[in-house]
A and B are shown apart, each in its own frame.
Chain A
Amino acid sequence: MTTTLETLQSQFGTKVLETGENRMGQPVAIISRDSLIEIMTFLRDDANQDYKLLCDLTAVDGYQVSPRFTVVYQLRSLTHHAIVTLKVKVDADESVPSVSGIYPTANWLEREVYDLMGITFEGHPDLRRIVTPDHWEGHPLRKDYPLRGMNEPLFVPTADDV
């Protein structure tokens, strides 16, 4: 039986930019942004793949590399007991196609990435901030966002406070 990565490479050729595995030996594929929907739909609907469960969607800020962000998808196949990681690279001023049309669970996960990383998802039905307040400025999980916040007043106790 061919592995998921081999199938992806033979089916999609150059749209799969890079393949490998993580430190647990699970397959990882970096795919081109334009073919994300096509590949995800294939993985979900093909009977030999059957990756029906999108269990995680998150992003990593590479900060000084270009393209800056990596959006990471974890897909599980409940029938074949398999897991595969898909990655898409994107720059700060670009957007990623939303997969919430294929996997409804991506709705909130993409909102979270938008809120905390500032990556926009094209075609998302309701792209609003989710965990920070609506008036929040900046995207806290970016590496250039300071830990103590952007405009937070610094608490310096004086003799009167004690």
Chain B
Amino acid sequence: MPNETNITPGNLRTMTLNMGPQHPSTHGVLRLELELDGEIVHSCRPHIGYLHTGVEKEAEYKTYHQVTPMTDRLDYLSPMSNNLCHCMAVEQLCGIEVPKRAQYIRVMLTELTRIASHLVWLGTSAMDLGAMTVFLYCFREREMILDMYEEVSGVRMMSSYFRIGGLREDITPGLIEKVREFVRIFPDRWKEYDGLLTKNPIFMNRTKGLGIMSAEDAVAYGLTGPSLRGSGVKWDLRKDAPYCSYEDFDFEIPVETNGDVYSRYMVRLRELLESWKIVKQALENLPEGPVMSDNRKYCPPPKPEAKKNMEQLIHHFLLYSEGFKAPEGEVYSAVEAPKGELGCYLVSDGSNKPYRWHWRGPSFVNLQSLPVMAKGRYIADLVAMIGSIDIVLGEVDR
């Protein structure tokens, strides 16, 4: 029932409605406090925190190695990117050089993660608008990537495969085969998604000219990733501040200028193919060599050595029980995660645990722009806008 007493100064009779926290299109537990004038959204106030776990506090009580598995659970759709961000922050703090082979495998797997994350986004946001088929098609290919996670780490979602200084172990021939098969079939599958949505008149009607963020607004509200590039700002950390050997790869940064839901859709859709290009190059040019740094102050000795040599075994044991002492100092390390700039601000006091470990999640910052997009729009279009900024509530609430 409309609240009869709630009359705003402009003689406007509005109704307050809570959308969520249990609502299928909020992609988790997001509550939006909407003030509605009929079907028009007068104002929108997001309420978050339902999934708050206090991970930043927890990290201060864990050794650097123990923090890695916690990062998987933040943006649970892109575990590899989160692992990479944490490991890179610690590596830069301690000055650890990562071998080239490990860097290439990292690039390959984070790009597969980007594809997996974008596929979930594509499937769910299209389903919010009523396009059910796309969801089934997307999850078919995502399943292949989850199988690859299982191949390298034994786990389908919370992989924790990247370790400080490199990787847990070298990849198997089985993974190479799986990636090769994926690279072979993906362009055709991409054409299917493209064919289902890009020129679909219903989809275009529901996404074009909607949820517009101008380039100035997008930067002022701290948008990063595909949401920023959909507003016409060409900014991607992989090109503009390369890390982890991204400078060796040849790929484009898709940009769209309209800043609406359709632009963000186009950017992500084209990014799928760019990521596919990077995976292909990484697979073709995979260098030989070790996958773990030989800086034994921070990195464990190879397992065969630890099994034969007593000193190595003691060292292995110490690194995994007590951890290592990182030098005093601070870093702000950022990677381009599927959803935007993922940053890790790490302060060390010289002990074996982080003194402060702050996670700059792109979902948290990007969600802030939702009230700007939603103002004055229909409540039915809000669903498309939430989908288009691609949030994961695990990362928003942390």
Contacts and interface: CB of A to CB of B under 8 A. Distances in A.
A104 B221 contact: yes
Interface string B37-51: 000000000001100
B365 A105 contact: yes
A74 to B, nearest CB: 5
Given A53-B219, A78-B233, A105-B365, A23 B341 contact: no
Contacts of B330: 22-23, 28
Given A23-B329, A58-B345, A60-B356, A52 B48 contact: no
Interface stretch (B131-139, B190-198, B309-317, B331-339): B331-339
Contacts of B56: 116, 141
Interface in A136-156: 140-141, 145, 147
A58 B358 contact: yes
Interface stretch (A5-13, A35-43, A127-135): A127-135
Interface string A51-84: 0111110101100000000001010001001010
B288 interface: no
Interface string B345-387: 1010000000110101000110010000000000000000000
B29 to A, nearest CB: 12
Interface residues of A, number: 36
| Secondary structure call for the B interface | mixed
Contacts of A58: 345, 356, 358, 360
A81 B368 contact: no
Contacts of B61: 147
A140 B332 contact: no
B326 to A, nearest CB: 9
A28 to B, nearest CB: 8
Contacts of A78: 219, 233, 235, 240
B58 interface: yes
B343 to A, nearest CB: 5
A13 B251 CA distance: 44
A49 to B, nearest CB: 14
Contact of B222 (A22, A28, A54, A85): A54
Contact of A109 (B48, B332, B365): B365
Contacts, number: 94
Contacts of A14: none
Contacts of B48: 130-131
B49 A130 contact: yes
A56 B360 contact: yes
B397 A53 contact: no
Contacts of A72: 345
Nearest to B49: A131
A68 to B, nearest CB: 13
B233 A55 contact: no
Given A56-B332, A60-B356, A105-B220, A23 B92 contact: yes
Interface pairs A-B: 7 shortest CB-CB: A105-B222, A131-B49, A23-B329, A131-B52, A58-B358, A56-B360, A60-B356
7 contacts: A56-B358, A56-B360, A58-B360, A72-B345, A81-B240, A105-B368, A116-B56
Interface of B: 48-49, 52, 54, 56-58, 61, 92-93, 95, 219-222, 224, 233, 235, 240-241, 327, 329-334, 341, 343, 345, 347, 355-356, 358, 360, 364-365, 368, 397-398
Given A55-B341, A60-B347, A116-B56, 8 more contacts: A24-B332, A53-B219, A53-B222, A56-B343, A74-B343, A108-B365, A108-B368, A130-B49
